[in-house]
Amino acid sequence: MPYIVGLNSGSSFDGVDAVLCSIDIAEDGHPSRPKFIDALTVDWPEELQPLIMKAFENELTIFEMTRVNYAAGAVYAEATNALLAKAGIKPEEVDVLGYDGQTVYQEPPERQKIAEYAASGSKSLVDLWLKGGYPCGYFIVESGVVAALTNITTVTQFRPVDHALCGSGAPLMQYLDFVSFRNDGPTVTLNIGGIANLQLADIDRSKMMAFDTGPGNVMLDHVIKVRTGRTYDKDGEMAAKGTVIQPLLEEMQKHEFFLRKPPRSAWRLDFGSKYADDILKRYASSSTEDLLATFSMFTATSIERALVDFILPRTKVTKVVASGGGTRNNTLMRFLTERMEAHGLKTCVSDEFGLPAAYKEAIKFATLAFATKSNLANNIPAASGASSFAVLGKLTFAPRVARGTGPVQGK
């Protein structure tokens, strides 16, 4: 079975995860469930962290962003090389490396504008983005740098093709869930990164769903950073000491995001620093513990709301398989488990299925890259809203596979 490598740095921006798996093609022609082998997490270099945070806020020039893009590629290359050294694997033994890069900016589809553009009869492809409401995004970590410094063929930038087919391009977990759970009956999976998302996996891809539910860890991490200087609330210990501020919870549940119907995606423009800072300003007298408890409950109730509104009415499920960094937050998981039990659902983690919860997003990108290199359709149109199946991702070859490098013999 070929080795594959996946990397991920999500909207939480809390480090780069690197994972080594093996994978194969099953009898039905689709990839088999990846087999986890090893993994590690590296911190973003201190000199890069503030620059990327500025990028999130649109505070870098294009010249600064260019150098950051290349430097971020070097970070991913270092993480990959460290992982291979740890596992005792050589680059030439790896079939492909996959990642999506660090999302700096993302615009979801504007369905009303898209409908108006279609009705106008315009044939301008340019206007799809200038006037037509088509989705777009900007993702850094230069693949040429990664491929060159690891000597592994690399696939990245999985979202733009889906965007060009009028798909949301986010979330992307649904392909790994199709691969992993297609023979298990309808399965609901949940990923809690900076933003949380739900997926409904099914062997019939026309019945699948995938969409963001709202915030995951992004607001929690912001409060901790502003109030304490730390990067996250370890195990949800501070949140466990707090009490939910009910008026604030009710206010947040009226956020404009919840008016959107799947397929939908959220980003820092919805629940990022600006939104959180406004709350911190208005609730300056509230304790950090109470704010963390409230934001944790907000994440849990947002997930519950999405499940009840969009998934349970269409199919019967018995469990929710969770993954992502949020699964390490005991308070968040306690709130979530209680909300799921109210609907007769068991909450479990993806580790039970051989997919470590902390690294499932990185495994996702390794699997997407394997499919890309195999020319397999790795989007789910029913989930993203794309107009057709497609092969997502841009491929950059490893220097070692270059041909025609020998002396040229003249006549």
Question: For residue range 332-341, what is the model confidence (pLDDT) as tens digits?
Answer: 999 999 999 9
User: CA 339 to CA 305: how far, in whole Å?
Assistant: 10
Together in a domain, 164 and 216: no
Name which of 356, 311, 398, 361 is nearest 171 in CA terms. Answer: 361
Structural domain includes residue 312: yes
Question: For residue range 200-240, what is the model confidence (pLDDT) as tens digits?
Answer: 999 999 999 999 999 999 999 999 999 999 989 999 999 99
Q: What is the pLDDT of residue 410?
A: 77
How many structural domains are present in the chain?
Answer: 2
Categorize the per-residue pLDDT at 12 as very low, low, confident or very high, splitting at 50, 70 and 90.
low
**Boundary of a domain, candidates 329, 353, 377:** 353
Together in a domain, 102 and 152: yes
Together in a domain, 276 and 297: yes
Please give the order of strands across the beta sheet that includes 187-192: 209-215, 195-201, 187-192, 319-323, 346-349
User: Which residue's entry shows tokens 């013999």?
Assistant: 409
Structural domain includes residue 286: yes
Question: For residue range 304-323, what is the model confidence (pLDDT) as tens digits?
Answer: 999 999 999 999 999 999 99
Question: CATH no. for residue 59?
Answer: 3.30.420.40
Helix (H) / strand (E) element for 303: namely helix 288-306
Helix (H) / strand (E) element for 343: namely none
User: CA 16 to CA 83: how far, in whole Å?
Assistant: 12
Question: For residue range 67-126, what is the model confidence (pLDDT) as tens digits?
Answer: 999 999 999 999 999 999 999 999 999 999 999 989 899 998 998 999 999 999 999 999
Q: What is the pLDDT of residue 278?
A: 97
Provide the residue type at 208 as one letter.
Answer: M
Together in a domain, 265 and 344: yes
pLDDT above 90: percentage of residues in the chain: 90
Q: How far is CA 179 from CA 44, 100, 142, 253, in A?
A: 30, 18, 27, 33
Categorize the per-residue pLDDT at 302 as very low, low, confident or very high, splitting at 50, 70 and 90.
very high
Pairing of strands 346-349, 187-192: unpaired
Structural domain includes residue 233: yes
Quick check: 268 pLDDT over 80?
Answer: no
Q: What is the pLDDT of residue 170?
A: 87
Structural domain includes residue 411: no
Together in a domain, 208 and 327: yes
Provide the residue type at 25 as one letter.
Answer: I
Provide the residue type at 181 as one letter.
Answer: F
Are the C-beta atoms of 211 and 262 separated by less than 8 Å?
yes
Structural domain includes residue 122: yes
Together in a domain, 294 and 195: yes
Determine the average pLDDT of the residues in 3-22.
89
Together in a domain, 336 and 266: yes
Together in a domain, 156 and 47: yes
Together in a domain, 372 and 296: no
pLDDT above 70: percentage of residues in the chain: 99
Determine the average pLDDT of the residues in 176-183.
97
* pTM (predicted TM-score): 0.92
Question: For residue range 117-164, what is the model confidence (pLDDT) as tens digits?
Answer: 999 999 999 999 999 999 999 999 999 999 999 999 999 999 999 999
Structural domain includes residue 409: no
Q: What is the largest CA-CA distance in the chain?
A: 84
Structural domain includes residue 71: yes
Together in a domain, 126 and 273: no
Q: What is the CA radius of gyration of the chain?
A: 21
Q: What is the pLDDT of residue 97?
A: 98
Domain membership of residue 207 as a residue range: 183-353
Determine the average pLDDT of the residues in 322-331.
95
Q: What is the mean pLDDT of the chain?
A: 95
Structural domain includes residue 407: no
Together in a domain, 88 and 130: yes
Together in a domain, 275 and 379: no
